[in-house]
Chains A and B, each alone.
Chain A
Amino acid sequence: MSELLTNQSGKLSRFFGTLKRLFSSMTERTIVSLIYLCGVSAIIFVFGIFFFVFREGAPFIKNNLNLSGFFLSDDWYPTSVNNKRYGILALLAGTGSVTLVAMLIAVPFSLAAAVFIGKFCGPKPREILKIMIAFLAAVPSVVWGFIGLKVINVLIINLTGAPVGLNVLNAGIVVGLMSVPIIVSIAEDAIRAVPDTYIEAAEALGATRWQTVRKVVFPAAKNGLLAAVLLGVGRAVGETMAVLMCTGHSINIPFDGEAPYFHILDSVRTLTATIAAELGEAPRLNALSDGTYPEEGLHYQALFTIGIVLFIITFIINIVADLVVKGIRKKT
């Protein structure tokens, strides 16, 4: 009898052991699948967005895109009754000029701040400064636009005598300030990631902190610093709301062939601001029976083509960053 009981209890414990193993294996497999699904879904979403933008812009590219007219003309008259024109040169120039001014402001300040926070100040001020710079990132872009519109606009008019304060300089200052937190945080991480042994070796040779930063930290952290700057450029190119409010939204190329070549007090319009301002008013019309699209629907498609151009610009920036970083890695 006791043998039978022992036998039964052994069987039961084996059964429960198998069940437990099965359950734990299933749980692990489920969690792994979920993590895999999350990873894949990010890629699927990106491809989904690209597919959607490309699908909406494709008819324009296929039927109406004249490359020289689109990229080399500054005539953007998508709602003209008699002669609709879709030239984005002025929009490209606007995006480029605002990004240029923003980076001229943001890069030196951000890198200096990153060096100060990473190497020159004590632990307590460092934490305070990091919190304050993170707070800069928390300001919504519409509030930045509001400040550009109401404060910097007036300052520019009073200081420069320009008739309008909504221009490249205004948008450059605002977008530059908006790019600061991202550049500072990544550059500071890159600076702090430099191995302590490098810094100790420099200090052992009698180098001051500044000499260590200049001769050791900067060369060792240049990949991270470059990544920080390029992410800042990406932020500046993609910024919409603040730029829409601060540039003056005027189709104009701020460059010309005469000195001073670059007119920083000119109003401009950017690619992103054009999409944001006009997409709501551009009707999406279906194809006619012969496969062509009504002319009124071209505006909508042209805006999606601008979206594709923005996609390509961002893609090129990322590829260039990748190539530069790989080149630097090979050299070192």
Chain B
Amino acid sequence: MKTSDGQPGQNVFAPTELTRKKLRQQRMVGIGFGITTILILIPLVCLVGYLFVKAWPAFPASYMLFLA
């Protein structure tokens, strides 16, 4: 952006250092909360996975074909 006399000017809408810091902080907080939420769900996935893995030999082929 240039001023009327052709000199390079400052973009008045550009985020300031403070705004950038706040946005960075917000992003970090969002990621932190997201990781926490995923951490709660990991045991669920592991649990269901574990049950399936352990129960798999008990599923006869005929039963699985019946399901399909």
**Which residues of chain A have a CB within 8 Å of any CB of chain B?**
108-110, 112-113, 115-117, 120-121, 129, 132-133, 135-136, 139, 143, 147, 151, 177, 180, 184, 208-211
Pick the contact of B37 from A116, A135, A139, A211 — CB < 8 Å?
Answer: A116
In the assembled complex, 16 residue pairs joining A and B whose CB atoms fall closer than 8 Å, in A order, are A108-B36, A115-B33, A116-B30, A116-B37, A120-B29, A120-B30, A120-B33, A133-B40, A136-B41, A136-B44, A139-B44, A143-B47, A147-B47, A184-B40, A209-B26, A210-B30
Pick the contact of A208 from B25, B34, B46, B51 — CB < 8 Å?
Answer: B25
Q: What CA separation (Å) do A217 and B22 show in the bound complex?
A: 18
**Which residues of chain B have a CB within 8 Å of any CB of chain A?**
22-23, 25-26, 29-30, 32-34, 36-37, 39-41, 43-44, 46-47, 50-51
Residues of B within 8 A of A151 (CB): 46-47, 50
**Cross-chain contact A117 with B26 (CB below 8 angstroms):** no
Interface residues of A, dominant DSSP: helix
Residues of B within 8 A of A129 (CB): 37, 41
**Cross-chain contact B36 with A133 (CB below 8 angstroms):** no
**Cross-chain contact B44 with A147 (CB below 8 angstroms):** no
**Cross-chain contact B26 with A147 (CB below 8 angstroms):** no
- Min distance, Cβ A237 to any Cβ of chain B, angstroms: 21
**Cross-chain contact B37 with A113 (CB below 8 angstroms):** yes
Residues of A within 8 A of B44 (CB): 132, 135-136, 139
Interface centre among B23, B33, B41, B47 (most CB of A within 10 A): B33
Q: What CA separation (Å) do A57 and B36 show in the bound complex?
A: 45
Listed from nearest, the 3 A-B pairs whose CB atoms lie closest are A116-B33, A112-B36, A113-B37
**Cross-chain contact A177 with B30 (CB below 8 angstroms):** no
